Amino acid sequence: MSHAAADALARWRPRVSHDQEPADLRAAEKAAADLLTALGLAIDSDEMAETPRRMAHAYAEMLTVPAFDCTTFANTENYDELVLVQDIPVRSLCEHHMLPFVGVAHVGYLPGDRILGLSKFARMVDFFAQRPQTQERLTKQIAEHLEHQLSPVGVGVVVEAEHTCMSLRGVRAAGARTVTSALFGTLREDASARAEFLSLTRGRKEAR
């Protein structure tokens, strides 16, 4: 591959990764055992003997951020209508209680010179979801990343999720869903474009 071809590939297919320290699973297992014991649980029973190990591996899996290639293509058709991918699964952890929140993301944009490979929408959501955080931050990070990678005319992201820190403890509001949005460019500034995007995401919710 020529240097020019390699440069073009790196430009239009950048590797997106997150600097992350490797997990120390042995230390995590010991810490999990200490936590469960401190909570009064008998981890020496047959039923829970392997629980600290499983717990450590489960959290390590949920908190390992997956790298991906953010492949884009030239917008050769000069497509200028909304591109929207709905119901992308979201699985993340609340940074305040380290309990999961689960739901869906709707991610859309008005194309400029580049368009995004469709499979990259879900990979982008996974990339930002697999870390402890707030739903508000997650929503904004997805939108900012899409804007940075594509320089589109507009970007819109809506995330709907149920937080187990609210449904399983505290107020125990089972079934309550939190909805957050982040809109940039035309999808924020133009009232009709904003209304079209939000109506499509609301329409999908009503259909469910």
Query: What are 39-67's pLDDT values in tens digits?
Result: 999 999 999 999 999 999 999 999 999 99
**Claim to verify: residue 50 and residue 81 sit in the same structural domain:** no
Q: What is the pTM of this model?
A: 0.88
**Claim to verify: residue 106 and residue 82 sit in the same structural domain:** yes
Res 28 pLDDT > 90: yes
| Tokens 């507009």, located at residue | 154
Q: What CATH code is carried by the domain that includes residue 100?
A: 3.30.1130.10
Whether 142 and 182 have beta carbons less than 8 Å apart is answered as yes
Note the pLDDT of residue 94: 96
**Claim to verify: residue 55 and residue 157 sit in the same structural domain:** no
- Residue 5 is assigned to a structural domain of this protein: no
- Residue 88 is assigned to a structural domain of this protein: yes
The total number of structural domains in the chain stands at: 2
- Residue 94 is assigned to a structural domain of this protein: yes
Note the pLDDT of residue 13: 79
**Mean pLDDT (whole number) for 86-100:** 96
- Residue 161 is assigned to a structural domain of this protein: yes
**Claim to verify: residue 30 and residue 111 sit in the same structural domain:** no
**Boundary of a domain, candidates 6, 33, 62:** 62
- Residue predicted with more confidence, 204 or 163: 163
* Active centre residues (catalytic): 94-97, 135, 163, 165
Note the pLDDT of residue 171: 85
**Claim to verify: residue 134 and residue 49 sit in the same structural domain:** no
Note the pLDDT of residue 183: 98
The Cα 170–Cα 152 span in angstroms is: 42
The Cα 134–Cα 189 span in angstroms is: 25
**Strand pairing category for 68-69 and 15-16:** antiparallel
**Claim to verify: residue 32 and residue 89 sit in the same structural domain:** no
Per-residue pLDDT of 142-190, as tens digits, reads 999 999 999 999 999 999 999 999 999 988 888 899 999 999 999 999 9
- Mean pLDDT taken over the chain: 91
Q: Would you tell me how many other CB atoms lie within 10 Å of the CB of residue 58?
A: 12
**Claim to verify: residue 47 and residue 135 sit in the same structural domain:** no
Residue 19 banded pLDDT, cuts 50, 70, 90: confident
Q: Which domain holds residue 58?
A: 25-62
**Strand pairing category for 100-110 and 15-16:** unpaired
- Residue 151 is assigned to a structural domain of this protein: yes
**Claim to verify: residue 103 and residue 187 sit in the same structural domain:** yes
Note the pLDDT of residue 8: 54
**Claim to verify: residue 83 and residue 156 sit in the same structural domain:** yes
**Claim to verify: residue 81 and residue 102 sit in the same structural domain:** yes
The Cα 72–Cα 44 span in angstroms is: 52
